[in-house]
Structure 1
Amino acid sequence: MKKIYIFTIATLLVLSNAGCKKFLDQVPNDRLTFDESFATKATVDQLLANVYSTLPDEMQQRFPANGYTAGPWTGASDEADYTLPSSFSNNLNSGNWDATTGQVNTMWQLYYRGIQASSNFMANVSKCTDCNLNGVDFISRYYNEARAIRAIYYYYLLRQYGPVILLGNEPIAADAPIETISKPRNSFDECVDYIVSELDAVTANLPAIPVSNDDYGHVNKAVAQAYKVQVLLTAASPLFNGNTDYANLKNKDGKQLISQTASAEKWKRAADAAKSFITTFPSFTLYVKTGTTPFLTAFLSCRDVMLTDWNSEVIFAKGNADITNLQYNMAPNHNNGTGGDKGGSFLSVSQQLVRAYFMANGRSTDDPLSGYSETGGFTSFQAPDDNAARQVSNMYVGREPRFYVGVTYTNRKWINPNSSLITSFEFNGNAGKGSISNTDYSGTGYTQRKNLSLSGWSTGGRTNIFIRLAEIYLDYIEALNESDPGNPDILIYLNKIRERAGVPQYGAGANALPIPADMRDAIRRERRVELAFESHRYFDTRRWKIAETTDKVILGLNIQKNAADGFYNVVTTESRVFDKKHYLWPIPNGEVQKVPLVVQNTGW
């Protein structure tokens, strides 16, 4: 790493803000001299938008690390099989990747470029001559936004690569000599402390929450503190908290990079941060959309929390995002459909996730009292967004509302209310393998439905959510259960999630379910379905150190068959490779070669 590439002014300048709540939707587009670029608020706004531009746009998971920091997280977790042959998630799942793989290097470089762009902006924003408007000091505000984003980029590196190199607070000159930039990796705890201290430092000079339409998409106090919760939860988790698998992960001077002693205090620190967020920002509330029945209310609430821009639950999002690629991946390839009703069927939901959703009675499908059956035949059932009852497999009957939000299954009415399409993934069905000449069919007999526009895949231009309140609640109770088991808040906030989801709560009431004996398992189960398809499961199974169990196979239905001859039989649709080294991505080989002080991750 003889020189660290820094965004030049040619790449720093971006389109001006095109309207309310579209701040993160700006892209580089213009050229000015260095002095001109920081002289006025108009161009400073454009430069700041570039600082934000490296945030991961997970709507682009079809093309991970292809000019974006989008990752392969859904298809590389046990949520789904990404059946598009060229998807990088298939390389991860087959073990066909290493420290020389292009995406490994691209993600690393993009985040460090974002860090350098942030530092460069911070060093020069004070040159603005008209950034104090109507009593608002935008120099200070924008400086602290960039400082927060820089810390957030370090967090994204940390959860993916483990301990990284902290570059310092000043931008590094493009012609800096090798001896000034040749640095070893900092320890994981040093990285965490730095990120948290930066996020704490910015809060005094940022608004608490958006105060006008133009503030949406900007980092504020709430956003910074929400990321702080994510950082501390990651640090407290088994992957980084006393993980002896990394006993030999040391710098060349012997410095231990991941602590070998588990600390309960780290869980407390995460729990305290989450509780502080909840009490400090009471304006965020779980989103509820009222329907004609309690079940329909739960369904609409859990569906539309992802579809309603800047609703009461959204803490941070990118406005006016291009979501058509993601939606095309989710939409079945209906041979009798057109336009937005005919997609690619690429995001094939796993049978494991189908099983993970609760029953309407609130019980897990592996509970003998749940009533769940994969071999029980068919029942006439009307889904909450359907206009008629249809014969469906009993495994889809009597499920909780989030199941119907999340999964498109055979004989389900298509999501577009103006369409009469009924989806079938059977071999000879309208989205089945038998009628498709290429690979654009579901590999499991299901596709993802959550986060899909009601008008089909071709309608875009809404928010791409980064963090919402339900995640903070789940972070809180996970950390609290590890640091203070039995604390009443665990049940309170777990039940808040279940109440909004329309399933019976845990407790002693007439309709309540028994309090789970294994609360850690209960919290993880709730998190899995509440945050499904939101790029959490990949990192959750890794920070919990369970991926070597969960990421071995993908189960689905037998798509080679029709219903009469075995379509609903559960089979292995994909075998996967997961070794202990895969818990972390390798440091790019080029970085290790250029800077000998940088040691490689264990096993690579």
Structure 2
Amino acid sequence: MKKILIYTVGALLIVGNYGCKKFLNQVPDDRLTFDQLYQRKSTVDQALANVYSTLPDQNQDRSASAAGNIGPWTAASDEADYTLPNFTENVNTGAWDATSGNVNYHWQNYYRGIQAASSFMANVTRCTDCNIGGIDIVNRYYNEARALRAIYYYYLIRQYGPVILLGNDPIASDAPLEAISKPRNSMDECVEYIVSELDATISRLPATPQANEDFGHVTASVAEAYKIKTLLTAARPLFNGNTDYAGLRNQDGKQLISQTYNVAKWTRLATAAKSFLNNPNYSSYALYTVAATPSGLPNTAFNRAFIATRDVFLNGWNSEIIFGRGGDVTFYQYSLAPNHNGASGGDKGGSFLSPSQQLVDAFFTANGLPIESDPTYTANGTSTYQAPDPNDQNAPRVISNMYVNREPRFYADITYTNRKWINPQSNIITDFTNSGNAGKGAIANNDYTKTGYTSRKHLTVAGWTSGRTIFTSIRLAEIYLDYVEALQESNPSDPDILIYLNRIRTRAGIPIYGGGGLPIPTDMRDAIRRERRVELAFELDRYFYTREWKIAETTDTQIRGLNITQNAPAFYTPVVTENRVFQKKHYLWPIPNGEIQKVPVIVQNTGW
């Protein structure tokens, strides 16, 4: 444990890749002493960038590893599969345990980030030129680091459950092992600490970015958004009265997860989310919309919704983005682009990220209905249909009826057979059938889709070689969804449920519930979950959603896709492409075995 938690001067001088601004790309002189590091603003900036570097980086999503501190969240959920071999396969087959390396690095990295934040907070006041011009940079940086420390605890409890709270002071590099040998705190204690720490920073940080260089920094709105995420995790069934964890106790008998369901946790979440939404200091946040479509695309409500739900991820720091991370998106986008035979550059990718048939079927129809509830929907046969692609107008294509008259988010997120490729300078029509230009039949390696689809979300219209500004970490639509979920569980008659759910549906270009639109769903909980599944697809949400709701035993047992070894029409027959192993113990990750060996007072998670 000592090796993991002590953050040395040498480690502090390693700068991660965070944000999209200049100071985050600087590397400090590794010959600086610890005292010198904190004397000047230029090196203080670099030390702060290092504190940020522990944030998970979705750019590295295709290869769950310590690089980017990312996990197997997308392809270990029922959203998708990765053809490219990685640790996701271990998770999906159950071939992992407390000794697996990927179990260790998250635990280690987040605690290193926590210790780095505490060290920064203890030393930033040494800066001699940080407050030039009357701006209290020291106070702001101090509170950014304080918020980040709480955020890293949030990421820990979401993955491992209740963890060890180290306190507010940095641990000395020569601290004896017994001084840092602590048992796990309870989940409620962890949540209270995270929330109180975030609350303490909110009044001391600017509400939103005030200047170009502020983007990518933690602001008050970012801290509040993470507070909401923490309260959401605490309120959901995994940690709210879960009797499966009745035996999860410290060696002194202390219960780590409360065995009593408490609706007040949902009420507290609803209050926090409503406070965010009603805060006049955050009035600049709004769901991203467009007033008109690009040239050549008819300016219809449907097409505007398609452009808005596509470009909210491509148009930099827009009105909807609360927090995001920059970096090189090349590897991620290569995973999205089909391996088009004979193509080159940004038109020929790896076909690695393969959306599941379950996700394809989860998108609504253009009528705003689930496919199983819309009498106009059929999965059989083909039709001639005009997709809303600006680079393919006046060219209706024959496609499977599964893809006809679906909602705009479907066309923004999914590449299917006989869809015009996204690059406007390309004439490629993607074909995933076995002998098609992106089909398995002509590919000797792993560069093919396992399910007959690739993801289109987050992909620039010029193809995978074209960069973009950020990956979104939190956006306003997520706050809306957190709010309506909290209301549904605490006060299901609250009219705000429909107000905020319908705002998402309106931006998505589908009919609202009630008010002259569709009938209000009889199962509103299911409707909220389905909206979340579609709206936040490929945003690292689904993996934790199914676990926190304790439904992963149902959702995560297989991946279905199309029959990629066949040509049409047999290609369009859904098949099981992967059977998966999910056991109750998999709701939480195990505490790394090495940590328990070094600090025996740490008890292991249930089942491991």
Q: TM-score, normalised by structure 2?
A: 0.96
Q: Which residue of 1 aligns with 2:169?
A: 170
Q: Is the 8 A contact 2:231 2:268 kept in 1?
A: yes
**Is residue 476 of structure 2 the alignment partner of residue 469 of structure 1?**
yes
Residue aligned with 2:69, SS: coil
Q: Is the 8 A contact 2:16 2:54 kept in 1?
A: no
Q: Which residue of 2 aligns with 1:72?
A: 72
Task: Write the mapping of 1:500-579 to structure 2, written as runs, cut at 5 A.
Answer: 500-509=507-516, 512-564=517-569, 566-579=570-583
Q: Is the 8 A contact 1:560 1:567 kept in 2?
A: yes
Q: 1:234 to 1:370 in 2, by over 3 A?
A: farther
Q: Which residue of 2 aligns with 1:341?
A: 347
Q: Which residue of 2 aligns with 1:582?
A: 586
Residue aligned with 1:164, SS: coil
Matches of 1:533 and 1:293, distance apart in 2: 26
Give the C-alpha shift of residue 23 in structure 1. 5.7
Q: Which residue of 1 aligns with 2:207?
A: 208
Q: Which residue of 1 aligns with 2:241?
A: 242
Q: 1:300 to 1:380 in 2, by over 3 A?
A: closer
Q: Which residue of 1 aligns with 2:400?
A: 393
Q: Which residue of 1 aligns with 2:230?
A: 231
Q: 1:62 to 1:114 in 2, by over 3 A?
A: same
Residue aligned with 1:139, SS: helix
**Is residue 53 of structure 2 the alignment partner of residue 53 of structure 1?**
yes
Q: Is the 8 A contact 2:18 2:325 kept in 1?
A: no
Q: 2:601 aligns with which of 590, 597, 601?
A: 597
Give the C-alpha shift of residue 380 in structure 1. 3.6
Task: Write the mapping of 1:411-490 to structure 2, written as runs, cut at 5 A.
Answer: 411-490=418-497
Q: Which amino acid aligns with 2:34?
A: F
Q: Which residue of 2 aligns with 1:84?
A: 84
Q: Is the 8 A contact 1:330 1:343 kept in 2?
A: yes
Q: Which amino acid aligns with 2:266?
A: W
Matches of 2:17 and 2:532, distance apart in 1: 36
Q: Is the 8 A contact 2:20 2:469 kept in 1?
A: no
Give the C-alpha shift of residue 389 in structure 1. 1.0
Residue aligned with 1:337, SS: coil
Matches of 1:165 and 1:15, distance apart in 2: 26
Residue aligned with 1:415, SS: coil
Q: Which residue of 1 aligns with 2:296?
A: none
Residue aligned with 1:272, SS: helix
After superposition, the C-alpha distances for 1:207-263 in whole angstroms (9 at most, x for unaligned) are 111111111111110000000000001100000000000000000000000000000
Q: Is the 8 A contact 1:359 1:400 kept in 2?
A: yes
After superposition, the C-alpha distances for 1:174-223 in whole angstroms (9 at most, x for unaligned) are 22111110000000000000000000001121111111111111111000
Q: Which amino acid aligns with 1:61?
A: D
Q: 1:23 to 1:148 in 2, by over 3 A?
A: farther
Matches of 1:525 and 1:306, distance apart in 2: 21
Q: 2:337 aligns with which of 317, 331, 334?
A: 331
Give the C-alpha shift of residue 293 in structure 1. 1.1
Q: State the superposition RMSD in angstroms.
A: 1.6
Give the C-alpha shift of residue 394 in structure 1. 0.6
Residue aligned with 2:203, SS: helix
Task: Write the mapping of 1:308-387 to structure 2, written as runs, cut at 5 A.
Answer: 308-319=315-326, 321-367=327-373, 369-385=374-390, 386-387=392-393
Q: Which residue of 2 aligns with 1:287?
A: 288
Give the C-alpha shift of residue 374 in structure 1. 1.4
Structure 2: 5+ residue stretches without partners: 294-298
**Is residue 245 of structure 2 the alignment partner of residue 261 of structure 1?**
no
Q: Which residue of 2 aligns with 1:186?
A: 185
Structure 1: 5+ residue stretches without partners: none
Q: 1:261 to 1:18 in 2, by over 3 A?
A: closer
Q: Is the 8 A contact 2:450 2:577 kept in 1?
A: yes
After superposition, the C-alpha distances for 1:30-64 in whole angstroms (9 at most, x for unaligned) are 44111110001111011000000000001101221
Give the C-alpha shift of residue 136 in structure 1. 1.0
Give the C-alpha shift of residue 283 in structure 1. 1.3
Q: 2:416 aligns with which of 398, 409, 413?
A: 409
Q: Which amino acid aligns with 1:462?
A: T
Residue aligned with 1:532, SS: coil
Give the C-alpha shift of residue 16 in structure 1. 11
Give the C-alpha shift of residue 370 in structure 1. 4.3
Matches of 1:141 and 1:415, distance apart in 2: 42
Q: Which amino acid aligns with 2:600?
A: P
Matches of 2:34 and 2:182, distance apart in 1: 29
Matches of 1:26 and 1:99, distance apart in 2: 36
Q: Is the 8 A contact 1:383 1:412 kept in 2?
A: no
Matches of 2:215 and 2:301, distance apart in 1: 32
After superposition, the C-alpha distances for 1:405-448 in whole angstroms (9 at most, x for unaligned) are 11000000111111111100000000000011111100000001
After superposition, the C-alpha distances for 1:266-314 in whole angstroms (9 at most, x for unaligned) are 0001111111111112210000123211111100100000001100000
Residue aligned with 1:467, SS: strand
Q: 1:98 to 1:29 in 2, by over 3 A?
A: farther
Matches of 2:74 and 2:151, distance apart in 1: 21
Matches of 1:477 and 1:493, distance apart in 2: 7
Residue aligned with 1:563, SS: coil
Give the C-alpha shift of residue 377 in structure 1. 3.0
Residue aligned with 1:391, SS: strand
Matches of 2:76 and 2:19, distance apart in 1: 36
Matches of 2:216 and 2:24, distance apart in 1: 6
Question: Percent sequence identity over matched residues?
Answer: 66
Q: 1:486 to 1:135 in 2, by over 3 A?
A: same
Q: Which amino acid aligns with 1:129?
A: T
Range with greater deviation from structure 2 (60-69 or 463-472): 60-69
Residue aligned with 1:100, SS: coil
Residue aligned with 1:554, SS: strand
Range with greater deviation from structure 2 (357-366 or 21-30): 21-30
Give the C-alpha shift of residue 24 in structure 1. 5.3
Give the C-alpha shift of residue 71 in structure 1. 1.3
Q: 1:518 to 1:81 in 2, by over 3 A?
A: same
Give the C-alpha shift of residue 462 in structure 1. 1.4
Q: Which amino acid aligns with 2:195?
A: V
Q: 1:586 to 1:18 in 2, by over 3 A?
A: closer
Q: 1:517 to 1:249 in 2, by over 3 A?
A: same
Q: 1:354 to 1:461 in 2, by over 3 A?
A: closer
Q: Which amino acid aligns with 1:581?
A: K
Q: Which amino acid aligns with 2:283?
A: P
**Is residue 108 of structure 2 the alignment partner of residue 105 of structure 1?**
no
Q: Is the 8 A contact 1:444 1:558 kept in 2?
A: yes
Give the C-alpha shift of residue 29 in structure 1. 6.8
Residue aligned with 1:122, SS: helix
